[in-house]
Structure 1
């Protein structure tokens, strides 16, 4: 019987294996890791010999993991965590760092924070590869399975192993086209108007919309789009209203007027919009991850004019 050289296993091979598993494609995994397809294929062949299993099988235009590969995934993540813990005491020097970072964020957080975050971090490190994936309905599984290094969301998932920190606090306002209509002057005028809102592709509604419905405020939703950037083309020149975060006024909602949502003062908390960064506890003391979180905090502070939440818990 041929002896399996299990000592040939290394962290890079495990990282490659998980990337292919999560992406369902050698091409996508190569792009994610900044490697060539041939390098990924070579690494997979090495891992197949060690595991004694084909690991993946063709399915249509893509590939699917074998049952053995699915069983190995949790072990691979655990081994990578142990390797990370083993090297946890190593210091982090940005100037020589080559970072590959995956951040889960929907379009609001992505467009508001990540372009300036990328510029700021890229200017300080040797190289940076940033991959942004949609968070949709935020799930702790995304962090537990290492699908992302960091999540930015107004609805942080919960879990004993999930850590969160508030980055900033925004609020929803009522946008309208001043060339086509005036601002709604009362609650009844606001509720009677036709509205445009965002419903993500997994059918997840905005937290603001859910809060209104839960408090028996009913609006006529004329149009639903899958992202905030889809609102302006429909709002322009129309009589409709759109309730969206105030920080978008200088971005995708530039050129539109906005006013405080005309609800009773006691219900204004319905319009609050906190934003959190969330990570798995495996990264809590990792020096590179701590530095990255600090950089994101700095970007968030300047985005909201320094409106960081001083009471935020680390």
Structure 2
């Protein structure tokens, strides 16, 4: 009986066993494995100690495997194939994917990017389903607890286990109804107007509202709606203004006129955000690449609108 533990086996010993059994020659087995003959001989000694069998015996000028070695070689091939399957388990084939991908996005990034993204994903992975959830003000917890695989937001949570990458940036514009008024060309005209804005369910004001307020810009908000889709009905047919990301002109604010904001405004960045545990996941890497791939066409279409 062997005094060695089965854990003394390693894939190289299994490969050596298969090579010696198939080649029926230590010299040819060494050449096949790319090692020296002494390395093969040393490996055979280890195998003999582990399995309690001679493994090979002399036959004329060569060697032949024992009956036990022949049987062990069959199992060794199966184990090596299983190891190759284990190593390949991280590979990803979109066509074989059957899964639901959850992406958190608010109405701007949802309408701008996600229809294009899903078209690409579905072409490559017909078994994929997309579940879009509102991101509101995204938290690290919604990524930690698998509430979503990816967040698209101008506000990535600050946490050591959260990763983000900038997708693009947008400039702010003043939206108005050109049939009712001209664009405000001065700060005074801008401050004197009535304004419509968005206040998300979380109760946090838009970044631009906080920035302009901190800069001392005085605006009178007469309407607050929970999302960008609610803005147009309150601006159309009125003299009210809405200061929002310019890309909203493509869809949600289509039909409204827009002009530069007559006060200094920073750009609005947009990020994709994910949890660190997905950093090297093949499916997630594919998802992120596909999202990045739709950004340029979406922005080009928006500029042409």
The question of a shared fold, defined as TM-score above 0.5 by the shorter chain, is answered with yes
Count matched residues. Answer: 217
**Using the alignment, how far apart are the partners of 1:239 and 1:257 within structure 2?**
12
Pair 1:305-2:305 in alignment: no
Match of residue 50 from structure 1: none
Match of residue 130 from structure 2: 130
How does 1:1-314 map onto structure 2 within 5 Å? 90-263=90-263, 267-269=264-266, 272-305=267-300
CA shift, 1:156, in A, is 0.5
Contact 1:88/1:285 (<8 A) preserved: no
Contact 1:136/1:204 (<8 A) preserved: no
Q: Deviations over 1:274-299 (max 9, x none)?
A: 10000001000001100000000111
Contact 1:197/1:242 (<8 A) preserved: yes
SS in 2 for 1:158: coil
Contact 1:102/1:150 (<8 A) preserved: yes
Rg: which structure is higher?
2
CA shift, 1:306, in A, is 9.4
- Unaligned regions of 5+ residues in structure 1, if any? 1-85, 308-314
CA shift, 1:88, in A, is 8.3
CA shift, 1:215, in A, is 1.4
Q: Deviations over 1:132-158 (max 9, x none)?
A: 111111111111111110001001001
CA shift, 1:89, in A, is 5.1
SS in 1 for 2:171: strand
TM-score (normalised: structure 2) = 0.68
CA shift, 1:126, in A, is 2.9
**Using the alignment, how far apart are the partners of 2:203 and 2:118 within structure 1?**
29
User: 4+ residue stretches of structure 1 with deviation over 2 A?
Assistant: 86-89
Contact 1:196/1:221 (<8 A) preserved: yes
- Unaligned regions of 5+ residues in structure 2, if any? 1-85
